[in-house]
Structure formats: C-alpha cells, structure tokens
Amino acid sequence: MAGDGYYDFTLKQAIRVFSKIRDIKETSKHQRYSYPEEEFEKISEDCFSSAEDSEINLPEEQPKAAEKREMSLPDETPRKLGSLVTDPVEELKTTASQATQKASGWLIYPGTKWCGVGNVAASDDDLGPEEETDKCCRTHDKCRDFISGGETKYNLTNKSSYVSLSCECDNKFYECLRRANTISSNSVGFLYFNFFARKCFSLDYPKKCKKYTMFSKICSEYVADTLTEKIYLWLPPKKYKKL
C-alpha cells in the first residue's frame, strides 16, 4: 500500500534526525556551550526536505474508496429479515385457529361446510357440494336471536352447554331443509330436530292445562292462556318429517 511506504519513509527521516541530535549532544558535553538551536532547526529541515520533494503521497481518493468498501444492505433486506422473525403470540393464535378448524371438521355433516358445530367455510360465499342444504345451515348459523350456553336472557336461562336459537329461526331452518328435500337435508333435519331435539324460545302466551288424565292430576293437553300477557318461553322442537 502507498500509505505503508509513506510511513516507513518518514520513520527513517526521524531516526536520522534523532541520530544527529544525539551525536551533537555527545559532542556538546565536552564543550562549554550548547549547540546552537539554529543548527537543530537546520538539521530538521535538511532531513525532512527530501520527504516534501518526494513523490510518495497518499491518494486523495483513498477515503472515497474506503467509503465504497462499507457494507450496505439492499433496501429489501430488512423486509426479508423481518419475514423470518415471527410473533409468538400471532403464531399461537394461528395454530389454535387451525386446530379448532380441524376439530370442527369432524363435526360437520359430509358435503357441507355450515351444517354442524361451527363451520369450516373460508368465507360467507363458501359452500360445500351439498349446496342447498348448506345454504339452510348458513342462514341458521347467522341467526341473531340466540341464548348462549349458561346465559340468561329474556328471563330465560339456557342450562345446556350449546346455543339455543329463537323458534323463528328454527322454524325457518325446518322449512328450508324440507324444501331442499335431499338425502343430506333430510338427514340434517332428522339429526337436529329429532335426535338432538334442540328446544327453542319464543315470545308467546303462557300455557295452561286444558285436559287432565282420568286417574291422575297430570295434564295431558295444554292451551295458550290468551287472557295474560305474552312472555318468553322455552318450546319443544318440532318433529322433523320429510316431504
């Protein structure tokens, strides 16, 4: 490197100066007077004048070259590095969501994405091969009038662990499945209304007994008491019958 040669050259000049000064001091020990300061200055000028006249210089562009050697990352590097770092909380949420969706898949009626516990649809427009049945289930799932398990609403407490819907929503579901009239729709209707026998709630007149059994005080027939105000009641589900 040019810089190394330059520093070697100046070091040699310095050694020459100090050698001459040392010789002068040794000589001056035997003299009554000290060596004139002008002579020291002249020695220094003579020794270093050759350095000024020499062609050994550091290139002016050397700092620029050093700047060019500085490592610089491309603009897109931070984004690439950022993509490798994942948020543990978000990763856990994603894993839980995938696990829930996989578990729900076992409780969804074959050929549908909305008929069962929850849904496995990617969007509201995502339907399974059993499209007509799935449409009924999708509408039923989106019922806004419901009571969650353990929740109290309208002075009614849902003591079960599943959601109970209004009888209005259940009745629409019932009719939709019957109109579809396919193997899948009738199977879903049988499971929901007959097998699981989901009760619903409705704003209606309270019931009163119309007829008792002959040998006991057990009521065998009820009628609406229209003389009182309507209240929210639990009603048993209909028995599903296909067309």
- Which position among 53, 170, 204, 225 bears the catalytic label? 170
Is 140 an annotated catalytic residue? Answer: yes
- Which position among 140, 141, 204, 225 bears the catalytic label? 140
The residues facing 202 across adjacent strands are 233
* 46 vs 50: CA distance, rounded Å: 7
Nearest to 116 by CA among 95, 101, 96, 99: 101
Is 170 an annotated catalytic residue? Answer: yes
Kindly give, in sequence order, each residue whose CB lies less than 8 Å from that of residue 180, ignoring residues fewer than 6 positions away: 132, 133, 135, 136
DSSP codes of every residue in 181-243 = -SHHHHHHHIIIIIIS---EEEEEPPEEEEEE-TTSS-EEEEEE-TTS--EEEEEPPPPP---
- Strand (E) positions, 25-155? 146-147, 152-153
Active site amino acids: 140, 170
